[in-house]
Amino acid sequence: MLLAVDWGTSSLRGALIDPQGRVLSERASARGILSVPAGGFGEVFDAEFGDWSALADLCLISGMAGSRQGWAEAAYCACPAGFGDLSRQLLWLPAAPGPARARRAIVPGLCCETDGVPDVMRGEEVQVFGALALLGLQDATLVLPGTHSKWVTARAGRVQHFRTAMTGEFYALLRSQSLLSRTLPPDDGDLDEPAFLDGVSRALRGPGLLQTAFSVRTLALFERTAPAAMPSYLSGLVIGEELRAQPLEAGGEVVAMGSAALLTRYRLALAQRRISVRAIGAEATWHGLRALADNLETP
Amino acid sequence: MLLAVDWGTSSLRGALIDPQGRVLSERASARGILSVPAGGFGEVFDAEFGDWSALADLCLISGMAGSRQGWAEAAYCACPAGFGDLSRQLLWLPAAPGPARARRAIVPGLCCETDGVPDVMRGEEVQVFGALALLGLQDATLVLPGTHSKWVTARAGRVQHFRTAMTGEFYALLRSQSLLSRTLPPDDGDLDEPAFLDGVSRALRGPGLLQTAFSVRTLALFERTAPAAMPSYLSGLVIGEELRAQPLEAGGEVVAMGSAALLTRYRLALAQRRISVRAIGAEATWHGLRALADNLETP
């Protein structure tokens, strides 16, 4: 029995998975690593998953728990990296005191280098390998949109290369902290599709977000766009800017993983570049961790 | 005698200028329009410039004082716009009670349109016309770097077109509000020139700030760049991103106006695109307002 844990910056999710890969139960909480004081990770883990630890033989933890600010610092596997590299570089944690019998390990992240600059991911690599396995793909372009979107190129079942775009974070900063926030109404999360698409196509035409973002102010000033539509328009500008920088070939396909709301936006935006989207949900993480457990060489 | 006032978002500057164009005295305070309560502009003006109002025949006010959030909303002249358009669309304020004899007017701003989106400026147009006159130029590319940088194309002495880039604001957001701020030391304002130039050249190569900004995090994570150099590196990334979007021809010249510290950075950055900089100081504003006063048709 596997206890699979995805411990990210702002959330903590876990699943109890049987040897046949069936998810018996799932839990999620807001105890992301930013909410855990230094040295407090074991305690939070026990509070959240102590009962399940007694049922499982093995516990695999992916995500930011393996970062310098996390539970213990796991390695980064250099790309190109395959599933075997993850399993060979697991960071085994000391056995917990008490009745829990599950051995616990943190999954390493991935790193790669572009133009002399490193890039990193932690947690997304498990989703990527899980998705490739679920879809039966060896070669694919994948996107994991979010605060820091990841664009991943897989070749022959390995992660060849990836790039991070700070799309979600830029949106939040512009939305809430910038001068633009003064003319933006509260974001109810609803998508105004025409305004979103207008933002995407404007961003795709360039000349770049430093300039296009100012249109949020001027379109409001000249009352060209309804205030309620402006958050969707800004979202389109930022996501469109992310897509403008991607080397994508019209007619191609991208595998996308993330929340349903975000996937709707990426599907709409990518259609403007004539790219179709194959969506996959949170099951990719559990599938990836289960496969990692199955392929483990006993240490 | 002219009382020339430049009333911006965060600062208020004034000068008393004689008919020969000599600046007799200057004053500056932090009473930008954001610090003035609605309806309080006349009072602040009198407190700051009441004595000078009694000495001057005319007072011309440029900047955000003419915006919807300012003293009174002045027009935007549509580009292409010349000096004469500003003087024809001055917004005359009602005469003040008391001994002040200076007639007072707010200078209009400029607007233009690119790809269906309006752009606006208030205050910079006076600097631009002042700089063109001081330098004896009819045709020029001008940049006014700052929170919202303005890139201006002048042809035959008129402003043909301009674009706003939110460069300074993006820098401040990334510097102080983003995830990157966690690994950045306090900014002492010192310029680390190699780090700055590294940021500029990386930005000029692309693929865009959403991606290049993440290098601030990873270069720190892998200890590739000294922490003290990172604010300069980020500044280079953001200014380089601004320049990447400008249609500039190598070997050309740009007229730049702004603080000495910013002009140093833009001179270094523009050199990477083989553009030389002709710098001009705050005197452009006073020269522009004096020239406007001299060319005024008495209403």
Residue by residue, pLDDT tens for chain A (299 residues) are 999 999 999 999 999 999 999 999 999 999 999 999 999 999 999 999 999 998 999 999 999 999 999 999 999 999 999 999 999 999 999 987 776 678 999 999 999 999 999 999 999 999 999 999 999 999 999 999 999 999 999 999 999 999 999 999 999 999 999 999 988 998 888 999 999 999 999 999 999 999 999 999 999 999 999 999 999 999 999 999 999 999 999 999 999 999 999 999 999 999 999 999 999 988 899 999 999 999 886 54
Residue contact A211–B177, C-beta within 8 A: no
Give the C-alpha separation, A32 to B142, whole Å. Answer: 48
Q: What angle do CA B157, B163, B167 make, to 5 degrees?
A: 130
Residues of B in CB contact (< 8 Å) with A are 68, 115, 117-120, 148, 163-167, 169-170, 173-174, 177-179, 202, 205-215, 218-219, 221-222, 224, 238, 241-242, 244-245
Query: What distance in Å separates residue A95's CA from the closest CA in chain B?
Result: 29
Residue by residue, pLDDT tens for chain B (299 residues) are 999 999 999 999 999 999 999 999 999 999 999 999 999 999 999 999 999 999 999 999 999 999 999 999 999 999 999 999 999 999 999 987 776 678 999 999 999 999 999 999 999 999 999 999 999 999 999 999 999 999 999 999 999 999 999 999 999 999 999 999 988 998 888 999 999 999 999 999 999 999 999 999 999 999 999 999 999 999 999 999 999 999 999 999 999 999 999 999 999 999 999 999 999 988 899 999 999 999 886 54
Residue contact A177–B179, C-beta within 8 A: no
Query: How large is the ipTM?
Result: 0.95
Q: Which of B68, B117, B218 sits opposite A120 (nearest CB)?
A: B218
Q: Which of B68, B209, B222 sits opposite A118 (nearest CB)?
A: B222
Q: What angle do CA B6, B7, B8 make, to 5 degrees?
A: 110
Distances (CA, A) of B156 to A145, B27, B78, B134: 48, 33, 16, 15
Residue contact A173–B174, C-beta within 8 A: yes
Strands A91-92 and A103-106: antiparallel
Q: Which of B68, B118, B177 sits opposite A173 (nearest CB)?
A: B177
Residue contact B245–A207, C-beta within 8 A: yes
Instruction: Give residues with Cβ within 8 angstroms of A170, minimum separation 6.
Output: A209, A238, B210
Residue contact B214–A178, C-beta within 8 A: no
- CA-nearest residue of chain B to A211? B165
Count of beta carbons in the 10 Å neighbourhood of residue B30 = 9
Count of beta carbons in the 10 Å neighbourhood of residue B177 = 15
Residue contact A224–B118, C-beta within 8 A: yes
Chain A residues in contact with B208 (beta carbon < 8 A): 165, 208-209, 241, 244-245
Reported pTM = 0.95
Count of beta carbons in the 10 Å neighbourhood of residue B289 = 27
Chain A residues in contact with B177 (beta carbon < 8 A): 173, 177
Q: In what order do the strands lie in the sheet with A276-280?
A: A158-165, A149-155, A140-144, A253-257, A276-280
